[in-house]
Structure 1
Amino acid sequence: MAEPIIELKGVSKAFGNNVVLDEADLTLYQGEALAIIGPSGTGKSTILRIIAGLLAPDAGEVYIQGQQRKGLIEDAADPISIGMVFQQAALFDSLTVEENVGFLLYQHSQLSRSQIRELVNQKLEMVGLTGVGDRYPSELSGGMRKRVSFARAIMSNPDNVKDSPAVLLYDEPTAGLDPIASTVIENLIRQLQCTTGVCSTYAIVTHQDSTIRRTADRIVFLYQGKVQWEGSVKDIDTSDNPLIQQFFSGNVEGPIQVIG
């Protein structure tokens, strides 16, 4: 059995009177591709932000490679680096692609501009975007902006090996994309895991059936603040769990409450 790289134990989080996570447990193992699925508003993105150290739980414990995290990522460094790809790409509109991808190195390294540019070009080539470094985000398609955000997430400082991400977190990476662009992104996620050796472990939040089936090894279903089901991609079509049956059939009748 692979070693746990991230563990959430009894994690709770509320926003005002809205309890999003209710003593939730979740484990991400070394080398696996985990999909976190469930209806909208059930805390999937919240879990990613807690894992990334961008949000602190109200209760419960977060362990990163066996070490308990106290507070946020800015309070104390984790034993490994965690990269995150946000749903809307979250690029700086006033910066070029090169400046976006190399942002952290420009801000927090002693590397020369030419060295950073070379590293940026390497990462852009990995995501299939050679030659777009001088463009601005507004000049790119939605799928291209997503790939730029991937390149930024896997950027690391060669003078500090610990900066290389050991885990990548993807928040709805194919949201708003057409089926062909979605396939490009799905293939890229697997390529970054299996072919380039960039990062072998990731968690992905998604609603999209093709993305779940193409990018996940294991699936956890989050509903009412807890993990209600887990299994492999193959288990989707044979599960007798009514939550899974309703979610993948799109049926409005079932245990999942339809809002509105």
Structure 2
Amino acid sequence: MSEPLIELKGVCKTFGQNIVLDHADLTIYRGEALAIIGPSGTGKSTVLRIIAGLLAPDAGEVHVGGQLRKGLIEDAADPINISMVFQQAALFDSLTVEENVGFLLYQRSRLPRRQIRELVAQRLDMVGLSGISDRYPAELSGGMRKRVSFARAIMSNPHNPKDTPDMLLYDEPTAGLDPIASTVIENLVRHLNRQGGCQSYVMVTHQESTIRRTADRILFLHQGKVQWQGKVHELDSTDNPLIRQFLSGSVEGPIQVIG
């Protein structure tokens, strides 16, 4: 197994009276495609936000690139670069596609506008969206907005290699999309992985097609802990009752249905 990029050790997180993570442990390795699955409300998106440094655990440790993180990402830079693709794309409605994708470079670099536009065009081409730089998010379909958010996530300054993401975090990127649009996004995730957009990623999803097309390893999160983990092909052979119920969609089983 390659070196760990992220380690969560005994991580706890509570919102009000709701215990979301209960001494959870998980490890994410360099170069792997990992999916975190499980019922709604079991803390999958919370795990992503803790990994990204957007949310601090109540207890436990978060190790990033072998170093203990203290506080949030704004408190101290991580030794690796983590980028996140949010479920709702989170584009700025008042900015064009070019301005959205190149936002960090416009804000934080001294690159000339012409070079930023060229870099934006390259990233849009990688996600199959050439020629839409001057459009606004309202002019795009849901699937196109998702792909624009992918282009923004892999944008980096060529003069600062540290800007290149070491890990991408995807929060349900196919949620709300039709089956064809979902396939486009799933193929894009793998394409970016192969073409150097990012070699390591974590996918949170409920959708079985997304699990099978984008992941190599699976973590099943339930009741605040990782209850099962294995390779994708092991989903079909495991007798774990949680996995069997989750994949079948049955209301009968150890996963309690919230009425």
For 1:148-227, list aligned pairs within 5 A. 148-194=148-194, 196-227=195-226
Aligned match of 1:15: 15
- Normalization by structure 2: what TM-score? 0.99
For 1:32-111, list aligned pairs within 5 A. 32-111=32-111
Aligned match of 1:233: 232
Counterpart CA distance in 1 for 2:42 and 2:210 is 19
- CA-CA distance at 1:119 after TM superposition: 0.5
- Normalization by structure 1: what TM-score? 0.99
- CA-CA distance at 1:9 after TM superposition: 0.5
Counterpart CA distance in 2 for 1:108 and 1:70 is 24
Counterpart CA distance in 1 for 2:125 and 2:169 is 21
Aligned partner letter, 1:49: R
Counterpart CA distance in 2 for 1:7 and 1:92 is 32
- Where 1:61 maps in the other structure, the secondary structure is strand
User: Structure 2: any 5+ residue segments left out of the alignment?
Assistant: none
Counterpart CA distance in 2 for 1:112 and 1:57 is 40
Aligned match of 1:244: 243
Aligned length: 259
1:170-228 deviation line (CA, Å, top 9, x unaligned): 0000000000000000000001111x112110000000000000000000000000000
Runs of 4+ in 1 over 6 A off after TM superposition: none
User: Structure 1: any 5+ residue segments left out of the alignment?
Assistant: none
1:123-155 deviation line (CA, Å, top 9, x unaligned): 000000000000000000000000000000000
- CA-CA distance at 1:91 after TM superposition: 0.3
- Where 2:166 maps in the other structure, the secondary structure is strand
Counterpart CA distance in 2 for 1:114 and 1:74 is 30
Instruction: Give the RMSD, CA atoms, in angstroms.
Output: 0.5
Counterpart CA distance in 2 for 1:77 and 1:3 is 20
